[in-house]
Structure formats: C-alpha cells, structure tokens
C-alpha cells in the first residue's frame, strides 16, 4: 500500500534512513533508474501520482520498503506478479543477494514456480498439505 507521501517517505516510513540507503534498496528493487528520471527523484510526491504508477512500480516500492527494514524474515506474497520477466529476474537476484549472509529468511509465496530457482527449500501446497 502506498501512502500520500514521497517515494522516500513511502520507503522509510518515518524511520529516517539515509538517502544513500534508500538509493541502494531502490537499486535492489530495480527502481533507481525510474526514480532518478523523475523531476524530484525520490522526493517525488505520490499523493495524486500513486494512481499513475504501474502495479509493478508500486510493488517494487513495497519490496524496497521491506529490504530497507532489514528484518530477519520477509514474507512475500506474489512479489513478482506484476513484473515482466527481466525485471522479476533482477528483483529476485537482489532478494537472493539480500539473504546471502544467511541473516535473513525469505518466504516467497507464488504460483510462478519457475521463479524459485535460487531457493534452498521449496514447498508445494496441494490439497491443503505441504510437500517438499
């Protein structure tokens, strides 16, 4: 969910991280080039513009927010559903990189099983049961 604030504020949610940290998660979420093309960059107000964002852009802002939080567990529900294959691959590579030091676990719920190539454990749900 995006709030009527700037991109920076939507990502930091008032926690005051540096612009450098926000730029890094924007890059991880494959948004940095787009944000840099905006007249006010990450300080672009999304109040009235949020409706102009694509589903993929809004989704990647939410992913950047999650990455910036640096939580030990991320639960992602269809994080690449609104993304083209190239962008999805880029975002998933960044998520993989974000867990490379093993201090963070990602639970990725998806119908797009082909995107689950770099995960350590993949479970399938069928008939209300989980199978490895």
Q: How does pLDDT run across 26-63, given as a tens digit for each residue?
A: 998 889 999 999 999 999 998 765 667 888 888 889 88
- Is the pLDDT at 120 greater than 80, yes or no? no
CA distance 6 to 8: 5
3-state secondary structure of 131: strand
| Dist CA 111 CA 61 (whole Å) | 21
| pLDDT, mean of residues 98-125 | 77
Task: Report the alpha-carbon distance of residue 20 to residue 121 in Å, rounded.
Answer: 33
Percent of the chain exceeding pLDDT 90 equals 28
Which H helix or E strand runs over 47? none
User: What pLDDT score was predicted for residue 49?
Assistant: 57
Helix axis angle, 55-69 relative to 85-98, nearest 10°? 10
Structure tokens at 93: 């590579």
pTM (predicted TM-score): 0.78
What percent of the chain has pLDDT above 70?
A: 94
Q: CA 100, CA 112: separation in Å to the nearest integer?
A: 22
pLDDT at residue 122 greater than cutoff 90: no
Question: Mean of the per-residue pLDDT values for the chain?
Answer: 84
pLDDT at res. 85: 83
Q: In the chain, what are the domains?
A: 7-131 (3.40.50.300)
């Amino acid at each position: 969910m995006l709030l009527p604030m700037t991109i920076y504020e939507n990502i930091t949610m008032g926690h005051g991280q540096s612009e450098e940290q926000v730029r890094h998660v924007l890059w991880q979420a494959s948004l940095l080039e787009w944000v840099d093309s905006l007249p006010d960059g990450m300080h672009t107000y999304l109040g009235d513009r949020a409706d102009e964002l694509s589903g993929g852009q809004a989704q990647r802002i939410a992913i950047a927010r999650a990455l910036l939080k640096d939580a030990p567990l991320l639960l992602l529900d269809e994080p690449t559903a609104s993304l083209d294959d190239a962008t999805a691959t880029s975002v998933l590579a960044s998520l993989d990189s974000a867990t490379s030091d093993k201090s963070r676990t990602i639970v990725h719920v998806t119908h797009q099983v082909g995107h689950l190539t770099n995960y350590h454990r993949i479970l399938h749900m069928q008939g209300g049961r989980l199978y490895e």
